[in-house]
Amino acid sequence: AADLVVAIDGPSGSGKSSVARRVAQVLQLRYLDTGAMYRAVTWWLLEQGVELTDTERAAELTARIPLRMGTDPQRPTVHVGDVDVAGPIRESRISAAVSAVATNLGIRRELVARQQAIAAERGVVVEGRDITTVVAPDAPVRVLLTASEETRLSRRANELHGESTESTVEATRDEVLRRDADDSTVARFLDAAEGVDVVDSSHMTLDETVRAVLDLVEKRT
């Protein structure tokens, strides 16, 4: 249906962005990357020289961020005001700082409200860490996408360094595992909440994983 909400959570390297975009394309739904919203807030706060440890000030400024998420799954965009931040928010300085933003409860309240407003407009595939539990707990389709640590590290190394070798995987390990540990304090995304379907993509191709999620959509709707 045109107003279907599909919620997908998972840790970094689980493949959730690629899977969520493809599912949205197939079902002709919009696509919302909530991680990109936390990253854009991080970029904006650093840009303004705000101390991320000043949680009140950070939350206050976040309430006024002119953040615009483009939800076309073929070409998702992220703008803060007129600035296209799609590239900058993937930099490692942002990945390193984003957990400080994600653990700020005032910021979470603001972003969750914006995510729910976007989801209420029209059908969408929403991906993140707390979508199945907090943002869209009533979505008819809720999926936790997991993958073994080895698989996740290798996928991230590919993403960040263009290849998965022993040295690129090592270079990625710290970033991924530390972010997982930090993130696990804000949302429970390593095990599934009640009623959430688990898809383990460790031994699946992208196509197979997309198929598995589409099968769940069929089963649950």
- State the binding site: 10-18
Give the tokens for residue 174: 């710290």
Whole-angstrom distance, CA of residue 20 vs CA of residue 40: 19
Does 130 contact ligand C5P by CB under 6 A?
Answer: yes
Q: How many residues bind ligand C5P (CB under 6 A)?
A: 16
Whole-angstrom distance, CA of residue 153 vs CA of residue 95: 15
Residues 147-166 that bind ligand C5P (CB under 6 A): none
The minimum distance between CB 218 and ligand C5P, in angstroms, equals 25
- Residues annotated as binding site for ATP? 10-18
Nearest CB to ligand C5P, comparing residues 4 and 89? 89
Does 34 contact ligand C5P by CB under 6 A?
Answer: yes
Nearest CB to ligand C5P, comparing residues 27 and 108? 108
Q: What is the 3-state secondary structure (H, E, C) of 65-119?
A: CCEEEECCCCCCEEEECCEECCCHHHCHHHHHHHHHHHCCHHHHHHHHHHHHHHH
**Smallest Cα–Cα separation from 190: which of 100, 104, 125, 130?**
130
Does 128 contact ligand C5P by CB under 6 A?
Answer: yes
Instruction: Note whether 125 and 119 are within 8 A (CB).
Output: no
Burial label, 56 (beta-carbon count in 10 A; 0-12, 13-18, 19+): exposed
Does 39 contact ligand C5P by CB under 6 A?
Answer: yes
Does 129 contact ligand C5P by CB under 6 A?
Answer: yes
Q: Segment contacting ligand C5P (CB under 6 A): 127-135, 136-144, 157-165, 193-201? A: 127-135
**Smallest Cα–Cα separation from 44: which of 57, 33, 32, 31?**
57
Does 172 contact ligand C5P by CB under 6 A?
Answer: no
Give the tokens for residue 182: 């930090």
Give the tokens for residue 206: 């992208």
Nearest CB to ligand C5P, comparing residues 110 and 183? 183
Does 21 contact ligand C5P by CB under 6 A?
Answer: no
Does 183 contact ligand C5P by CB under 6 A?
Answer: yes
Alpha helices in the chain (DSSP H): 16-27, 34-47, 55-62, 92-102, 105-121, 149-161, 166-183, 206-220
Q: Segment contacting ligand C5P (CB under 6 A): 43-51, 125-133, 151-159, 211-219? A: 125-133
The minimum distance between CB 32 and ligand C5P, in angstroms, equals 10
Does 88 contact ligand C5P by CB under 6 A?
Answer: no
In the complex, which residues of this chain contact ligand C5P (CB under 6 A)? 12, 34-35, 38-39, 98-99, 102, 128-131, 179, 183, 186-187
